[in-house]
Chain A
Amino acid sequence: MRQAKGAAVDVVGLTKVFGEGETRVEALRGIDMTIAPGEFVAVMGASGSGKSTLLHVIGGLEPPTDGDVRIDGRSLRELNDDELTVLRRRRIGFVFQAFNLLQVLTAAENVALPLVIDGVAESEAHARARAALDRVALADRSAHLPGELSGGEQQRVAIARAVVTNPVLLLVDEPTGNLDSRTGEKVMALLRSLADDHGQTVLMVTHDAGDAAMADRLARLRDGVVADEQSLPAGRDAHELLGEDLS
């Protein structure tokens, strides 16, 4: 079996089947994918292409039917539910489309949650949460409840929570799905800067071409297989781009 050395994520021959008999659905039909540390990978595909399932399996939320996922060298197949939970808690950060925060906790408490559950001392957890909120430029909102924040701010709090544990992998699911385009762009710029400035490995699924184009690499899923994959070269800056002659 192939194993990429030093990969953050290594997906090998991954298949996932739901249901049986007439309701049997093959959501993933053999996916191979390697993500290097610090890489920002986008997975695109129409709805039903299996992109969300892929994210769930990589995140250990669903067991694979066949094949394996290795996060930082650890095979998910070998972990039981509790070990998976701890892996998610310490090594993976999740950002979902919406309803991403616990409504009864403040921004800072939401961010500190994975640490507190992991047994980190409350004072340290909150210091780290404040630092994470600072990274997403929301330090002044730490005492607010999610209901008092705008959609974009909520998503940024969610991102702060996802990175507060310094995870190996950030899994992002349609991060701008519930946001207007301007706010969405800010969230995407934030994710981009996490990869650029902190070397954060990011795997994002989306159906938005604009979001996907932010990544370093793009995988297109069709009917449960990777139909196309491309690296996106580092670009030019705005001046160069705007001064370029198309004629």
Chain B
Amino acid sequence: MSVRQALLGLLAGGARHGYELRAAYEGRLVPQGRLNIGQVYTTLERLERDGLVQHERVVGTDGHGRDRKVYALTPEGHAELHTWLAEPSPVRLDLRNEVFLKIVLARRIEGVDARGVVDRERRAAFERLHEVTQARARAEDASLEDDLLLDLAALRLQAFLKWLDHCEEKLS
């Protein structure tokens, strides 16, 4: 996930200063994402260097009466953002999986039951899925973004559970 594209995208909605950008980023745009303010400013500086954003100083708008830099997109920045949106992202298989590692190793290590590993992982996944589905069922007033994210979580978990079923079947 590129912080660079995220900031470009946020600025497309209007000029903002660094703290605003961080808050928006951590809010809903990149769930569970963490960004420190230093990262924000280094990225903005790089973008400015590339001619994609520009800033102007606004006097005393923070609580302490200090000046702030407010960033906005340049036309090149707009172009860069639209190019990114138009291109498909590389589809990653995401095969680095801890459970897979456990299963493979459990089969090699004497005295460990690979199926037991599967069972325990499944219980855990079900607990997770229970949480997600419950949350989804209850969150009647959820925003579209939340809804889409919960769907993603639920479907991934279901896919994972299905994979565990396959593991179980093929291990026996």
Contact = CB atoms under 8 A, between A and B. Distances in A.
A212 interface: yes
Nearest to B31: A242
Interface in A81-120: none
A40 B27 CA distance: 35
Interface stretch (A27-35, A61-69, A155-163, A185-193): A185-193
Interface stretch (A17-25, A71-79, A229-237): A229-237
A188 B134 CA distance: 10
A1 interface: no
A238 B162 contact: no
Given A210-B154, A210-B158, A214-B137, A241 B123 contact: no
Contacts, number: 79
A192 B137 contact: yes
A189 to B, nearest CB: 4
Interface string A166-194: 00000000000000000001001100110
B134 A192 contact: yes
B132 A241 contact: yes
A213 B161 CA distance: 11
B32 interface: yes
Nearest to B165: A46
Nearest to B130: A232
Contact of A241 (B122, B127, B135, B158): B135
Contacts of B132: 213, 235, 241
Contact of A235 (B32, B119, B123, B135): B135
Contacts of B134: 192, 214, 234-235
B56 interface: no
Nearest to B143: A238
Question: Which has the most chain A C-beta neighbours within 10 Å: B119, B126, B142, B161?
Answer: B126
A210 B126 contact: no
A236 B149 contact: no
A228 B31 contact: no
A140 interface: no
B32 to A, nearest CB: 5
Interface residues of B, number: 29
A96 B66 CA distance: 67
- Which 7 pairs, one residue from A and one from B, show the smallest C-beta to C-beta distance? A235-B131, A232-B130, A213-B129, A238-B139, A189-B137, A235-B134, A238-B135
Contact of B146 (A185, A192, A218, A238): A238
B171 to A, nearest CB: 14
A51 to B, nearest CB: 15
Contacts of B130: 213-215, 232-233, 235
Interface string A186-207: 0011001100000000000000
A247 interface: yes
Nearest to A215: B130
11 contacts: A210-B133, A213-B129, A214-B130, A228-B119, A230-B123, A230-B127, A232-B126, A236-B131, A239-B146, A242-B146, A244-B32
B104 to A, nearest CB: 22
Contact of A237 (B126, B135, B162): B135
A244 B16 CA distance: 26
Question: Which has the most chain A C-beta neighbours within 10 Å: B123, B130, B158, B162?
Answer: B130
Contact of B127 (A185, A232, A239): A232
A247 B146 contact: no
Interface in B80-109: none
Contacts of B158: 209-210
B155 to A, nearest CB: 8
Contact of A236 (B135, B153, B161): B135
A228 B137 CA distance: 25
B138 interface: yes
B69 interface: no
Contacts of A215: 130
